[in-house]
Amino acid sequence: MADIAPSAGLPRHVAIIMDGNGRWAKQRLLPRTAGHAAGINVVRRVVRYCADKGVEVLTLFAFSSENWRRPADEVSVLMDLFVEALARETRQMHEQGIRLRIIGDTEAFDGRLRRRIAESEALTAGNTGMTLMVAGNYGGRRDVVRAAQRVAEAVQRGELAPADIDERLIEANLSTANMPEPDLFIRTGGERRISNFLLWQLAYTELYFTETLWPDFDESQLELAFQDFASRERRFGCTGEQIQAGSAVGR
Ligand code: FPP
């Protein structure tokens, strides 16, 4: 992954767990799925805001590998929303120069969704603006396991010795290869957990939790998170004095 500047300004990579859709709907006596539908509107606003600000990568946790355990009708609505969102939003994202990538085990999705994903990724692949990574059927541990398997295969082929395995090699085999590490992680909805999101990648990320439920999250809330991030001192294992003196380098 790319080197990281020691001072925090605008985050290059923002990763978000969009939590609280179900509770938002329940508060309104609506079905949980109405919360997900409302959440899509916030996704659109947050994507636009981050792209306009100059964020390089935005990663959204849309569906975890554990979310299959939800009631079948909720899973089905989430899949439909995903298909519809891709159909509706891809062209506009393309016009904004956004490159879309889906990370996670997309083979588990039905053919309709897989085709949409392939089309949206292909259309936007050459764009040079913000990269929007949507994590779908994603699990952080599985991401690391897959990377370990790929590296083990290279060892088995005789291309590498076990002693050659280092952090950069693991990183290069994660689904986020060639992306900067997340600088800022945001979780809405009041829970203070990582929930098997980008486990390896979040090692040095600044964590930000807000009680706001995802459908109520907006540009002003995101700006608060950015301001909070800008006030943090990122030390990457160095002392505060080293950082102040400018002697520390990126990892
Ligand atoms: C968590 O809320 C949210 C999800 C599991 C799905 C998030 C999906 C969207 C916002 C829409 C799809 C997104 C894209 C990018 C197409 P929850 O249901 O766990 O809420 P709760 O904790 O209040 O029950």
| Residue of 16, 17, 19, 132 best suited for mutating to test ligand 1, as the one with most atoms within 8 Å of CB | 19
* Domain-located, residue 3: no
* Domain-located, residue 173: yes
Q: Token pair of 42, please?
A: 């916030």
Is 127 marked active-site?
no
Mean pLDDT over residues 150-167, rounded? Answer: 97
Residue 78, domain extent: 13-245
3-state secondary structure of 133: strand
Mean pLDDT of the chain: 93
For ligand 1, say whether the CB of 48 is within 6 Å of any of its atoms: no
Q: What is the pLDDT of residue 73?
A: 92
Q: Give the H/E segment covering residue 93.
A: helix 72-95
Longest dimension (CA), the chain: 60
Nearest 10 degrees: Cα torsion 138, 142, 146, 148: 140
Q: What is the pLDDT of residue 238?
A: 83
Q: Between 90 and 3, where is the model more confident?
A: 90
CATH of the domain at 85: 3.40.1180.10
Q: Which amino acid is at 225?
A: A
Q: What is the pLDDT of residue 249?
A: 53
* CA-based radius of gyration for the chain: 19
| Residue of 14, 16, 17, 21 best suited for mutating to test ligand 1, as the one with most atoms within 8 Å of CB | 21
Of the residues 3, 41, 52, 67, only one is catalytic, namely 67
Domain count, the chain: 1
What length does the chain have? Answer: 251
pLDDT tens-place string over residues 80-135: 999 999 999 999 999 999 999 999 999 999 999 999 999 999 999 999 999 999 99
Is 67 marked active-site?
yes
Of the residues 19, 137, 143, 173, only one is catalytic, namely 19
Mean pLDDT over residues 68-86, rounded? Answer: 93
* Domain-located, residue 190: yes
* Domain-located, residue 226: yes
Phi, psi (degrees; rounded to nearest 5) at 45: -70, -40
Q: What is the pLDDT of residue 7?
A: 43
CA atoms of 230 and 249, how far apart (whole Å): 18
pLDDT tens-place string over residues 33-54: 999 999 999 999 999 999 999 9
Q: What is the pLDDT of residue 251?
A: 52
* Domain-located, residue 163: yes
Mean pLDDT over residues 4-21, rounded? Answer: 83
pLDDT tens-place string over residues 230-247: 999 887 788 878 777 876
For ligand 1, say whether the CB of 21 is within 6 Å of any of its atoms: yes
Provide the pLDDT confidence category of residue 3 given band limits of 50, 70 and 90: very low
* Domain-located, residue 112: yes
* Domain-located, residue 104: yes
* Domain-located, residue 6: no
